[in-house]
Structures are given as C-alpha cells and as structure tokens.
Amino acid sequence: MKRLLVRAFLAALLGLLILAGYVWSGLPAREAVRRLARETPTETSLMRQRSREAERTGRKARREKAWVPLARISRHLIHAVITAEDARFFGHEGVDWEAIRESAERNLERGRFSRGGSTITQQLAKNLYFTTDKSLIRKLRELIVTWWLEADLRKTRILELYLNLIEWGDGVYGCEAAARRYYGRSAANLDEATAAGLAAMIPNPRRLNPIVNPRRHARAQQRILWLMARAGYARSAVAGLGAEPPPVEADEAGPDEEPEATASPPSVDAPPPAPAPLPSPEASPTPR
C-alpha cells in the first residue's frame, strides 16, 4: 500500500512538472515584457489572430491604429474605462480577487457564464501575447504575464499600453483610431458621452458598437454613464440617472468573433472643449 502511494505521489509530481514546463514554454521572454516599460509594440498577438481569421474567410485584414501618449487621451475616457473594466485598477497588483468572487456569484445566480473578473492588466497580457481561445493553460500563462507586467511597469504605463493596443472593432485598435472611426474626433476630445460609448464596446467590440448594433450599444453606453456618475466622474444630468443602471444583456458581456458590418460612422456635433491636462505619471495618486 505504501509503495502504491509513493508511486501515485511521484506520478502526480511528474505530471505537475510536465504541466509547469508546458505552461512555461508558451510564455513570452521575460526581457520582452520588461522592455514594454520603454518600448511600444507595433503588433500584438490578437492583431495576428484577427489577420489569420480574415485570411481564412477570404477577407483582407484591416488594421487602423495610431499611438497617442496618455497625456493626450481624454480624462473622460480614462475614467470611463476604469469604471467599466477595473474599478480597483490602482489598488490591486494585477488580479482583483474581489471582482472574481463577485463575478462567480453573479454567474451562479444567472446559471450561465456572463463575464469574468479580468483586470485591465490581465486583458493587456491577453492582447499582447495570447489569443481569445479559452483554456486553463492560456489563463495560467496570462496570469504569469500579468504579474510580470505589474512588477516591471508603472500603472500609468499599463493603462497607456492598454488604451492604445486593445481591439475596438473589426481592424480597429487603440482609442485614437476608435474615437476617429466612431465619433469623428481625436481621443483627446472625447466628452463624457462619447468616452462612455467607447468604454461600452470593450467587452464585445466587433458586435457591440454604434455601427453594428446602435440600440444595444446605446443601452450599454448609458450603463457606463450611470456608473461614471455614481463614481463622481460624470454629471448626473448627462447620465440620466435612475435608481438602477440599464441591465447587461448576454452579447454585451463576452468576447466576440464576428466581423462588424461595413458602414459609415455616425456623425457628431462639434467637438467639445479639450479636457484639462492629465496629471503626470509622477503625480499619480498610486504610482508604481
């Protein structure tokens, strides 16, 4: 009996070592993550994935992107994205365990998976180095890279990379390209409503946008405005506050794989005044 237990233990240990080696083999180089503190990537793993998907369907891959420093991004967009995606961004170290617990409870109540508790740093790790394919191995690798990002980069740099690299529609990457495509203005000139409109798209950008599905996008946008007003980032009159935020529907809550329809972006009125300058990274209330 003792011999069987020893063999079982050794087999389990060997299995864990093999699993650890497999997980490690799919990680980016540690130095490549460190270089993100001073270098800007021109392409992400998600961009390459979308290019392959386009090729498989016989479409020409689109890629609209333009880099802008954090100081030239509207504070309204920063507030909207943090409010919608990671309210405790400046307080956690890459993983928000409280958000994961709340998400798990919500999913159990609804009897289905609606949204996870991924932080901005986790989402950035996935965009930079992995794909939208769901697997435990990918999540483990994503978690390791998340810890590396938090160890090597300031919070403001993580946010700058995130806002400039994430997907905002079929072939649209970064807030500058998204602001110009959907609202005809620069990322610096987004007001509360248009910032909420961009933030509302993040969970499902190729379906949940004002071109593909204006009605559902408008409802998701209103929900972000409600959350912004509750956090003190938007005027109550702009948000049209009610007792509760608009509910989240199924396709407003997860990653999507369908390309958006081709259409002209909606027109907007004259752009609002430029926002006040953002504080420098050194003035950040929670520098890293």
- The backbone region for 169, taken as left when phi is positive above 0, alpha when psi lies in -120 to 50, beta otherwise, is left
For position 148, what pLDDT does the model report? 97
144/96 Cα distance (integer angstroms): 14
Cβ atoms 128, 44 nearer than 8 A = yes
Give me the domains of the chain, ranges plus CATH numbers.
55-283 (1.10.3810.10)
Residue 104 neighbours by CB under 8 Å, 6+ apart: 117
Q: What is the pLDDT along the chain (288 residues), one digit of tens a residue?
A: 788 887 888 888 888 889 888 888 899 999 999 999 999 999 999 999 999 999 999 998 889 999 999 999 999 999 999 999 999 999 998 887 776 777 666 656 665 545 567 899 999 999 999 998 888 999 999 999 999 999 999 999 999 999 999 999 999 999 999 999 999 999 999 999 999 999 999 999 989 999 999 999 999 999 999 999 988 888 765 555 565 666 655 444 444 444 343 333 333 333 333 333 333 333 333 334
For position 101, what pLDDT does the model report? 72
For position 14, what pLDDT does the model report? 86
Place of tokens 């180089």: 29
Q: pTM value?
A: 0.79
Give me the amino acid identity at 118. Answer: S
For position 110, what pLDDT does the model report? 60
For position 241, what pLDDT does the model report? 58
Task: Determine the angle formed by the axes of helices 120-129 and 45-56, rounding to 10 degrees.
Answer: 50
Q: Which of 225, 248, 268 is nearest to 103 (CA)?
A: 248
9/186 Cα distance (integer angstroms): 59
